[in-house]
């Protein structure tokens, strides 16, 4: 544990998956963590894991789609823990289905949780950070905010909307001369439980599009983003390739996604009949940070290491080039 003064960190969607791994990463660096998520039992389990690591943790069951509930949670956090320094918006839900099989209610719910949930969290954080002129808001993003894929139209649209919202907010903070910082972490595919509880109308079980990374890779990137000045952070080569290709060759990206993303999002296992989903209510179970893909998931990312050290790497490359030029 660090001897520095702990900061108050809020992790929405912190009871499982990347959110839980991130909450634990903040706890291990000595911060006090508040976890916001829907399932009371899983919130309690996540807090117990943080306390076992020696951290102070506060769990509040809340649906981030409920703006008033989010505001009440923020009030309680500051009352019981102190001034919020970092707020991570990481909650999400999705539906695996082609557009023509989606209902209006499903589009609305994915939007309420994945997009509006982040807006509600951001507003609650801003109400406290702007008057104090300090703090950092981290938006949990995805490469799909730039490069949409088939079978997840609602989720892709919500992440794209969150990117637009975040860019607009960043401009306003710059205009106001505010020291409140907002950043977005665009992720690749990760081994989380979402593929066992997301609503799925496909014939087979869902999977992250390979290559797959462990959630601790995303957690490390999010903690780094919250403590360093980076406008946006891309994590994993797949995210980099997807984002850059969407800017340079979007039509080619459409065709590649049409060809590869159908099979890439499904395993060969048939979908179990009656599998519950978390679209409108949490799915009970001992879900943690990891999903069922441990054997296939990578524990590190070369791209993320290079991104984190890009300044010294660039400087070393410039010096090496200068030496070569001088020698020639």
CB-based contact 253:167 (threshold 8 Å): no
Catalytic residue among 115, 146, 155, 262: 155
Cβ partners under 8 Å of residue 26, min gap 6:
9, 11, 33, 86, 223
CB-based contact 28:9 (threshold 8 Å): no
Helix then strand count (H, E) for the chain reads 12, 14
Buried b (16+ CB within 10 A) or exposed e, 113-135: bbbbbbbbbbebbbebbeeeeeb
Two tokens, residue 158: 């919500």
Instruction: Name the residue among 94, 304, 97, 115 with its Cα closest to residue 211.
Output: 304
- Examine the residue annotation and report whether 155 is marked as an active-site residue of this protein: yes
CA dist., res. 93 & res. 114, Å (int): 6
> Cα dihedral sign for 59, 32, 111, 131?
positive
Query: Helix %, strand %, coil % for the chain, to 5?
Result: 50, 20, 30
* Catalytically active residues, by annotation: 155
């Amino acid at each position: 544990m660090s001897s520095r003064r702990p900061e108050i960190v809020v992790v929405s969607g912190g009871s499982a998956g990347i959110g839980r791994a991130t909450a634990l990463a903040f706890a291990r660096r000595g911060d006090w963590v508040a976890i916001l998520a829907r399932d009371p039992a899983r919130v309690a389990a996540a807090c117990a894991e943080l306390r076992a690591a020696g951290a102070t943790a506060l769990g509040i069951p809340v649906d981030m789609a409920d703006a008033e509930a989010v505001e009440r949670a923020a009030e309680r956090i500051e009352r019981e823990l102190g001034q919020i320094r970092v707020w991570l918006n990481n909650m999400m839900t999705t539906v695996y289905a082609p557009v023509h099989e989606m209902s209006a209610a499903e589009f609305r719910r994915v939007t309420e949780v994945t997009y509006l949930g982040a807006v509600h969290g951001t507003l609650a954080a801003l109400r406290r950070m702007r008057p104090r002129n300090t703090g950092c808001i981290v938006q949990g993003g995805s490469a799909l905010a730039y490069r949409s894929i088939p079978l997840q139209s609602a989720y892709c649209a919500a992440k794209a909307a969150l990117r637009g919202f975040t860019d607009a907010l960043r401009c306003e903070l710059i205009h106001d001369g505010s020291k409140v910082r907002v950043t977005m972490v665009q992720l690749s595919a990760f081994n989380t439980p979402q593929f066992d509880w997301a609503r799925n109308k496909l014939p087979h079980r869902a999977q992250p599009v390979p290559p797959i990374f462990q959630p601790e890779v995303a957690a490390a990137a999010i903690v780094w983003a919250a403590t360093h000045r980076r406008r946006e952070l891309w994590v994993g080569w797949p995210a980099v390739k997807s984002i850059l290709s969407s800017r340079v060759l979007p039509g080619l990206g459409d065709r590649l996604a049409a060809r590869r993303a159908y099979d890439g999002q499904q395993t060969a296992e048939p979908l179990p009949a009656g599998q519950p989903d978390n679209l409108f209510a949490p799915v009970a179970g001992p879900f943690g940070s990891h999903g069922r893909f441990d054997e296939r998931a990578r524990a590190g990312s070369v791209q993320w290491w290079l991104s984190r050290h890009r300044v010294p790497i660039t400087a070393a490359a410039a010096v090496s080039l200068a030496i070569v030029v001088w020698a020639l």
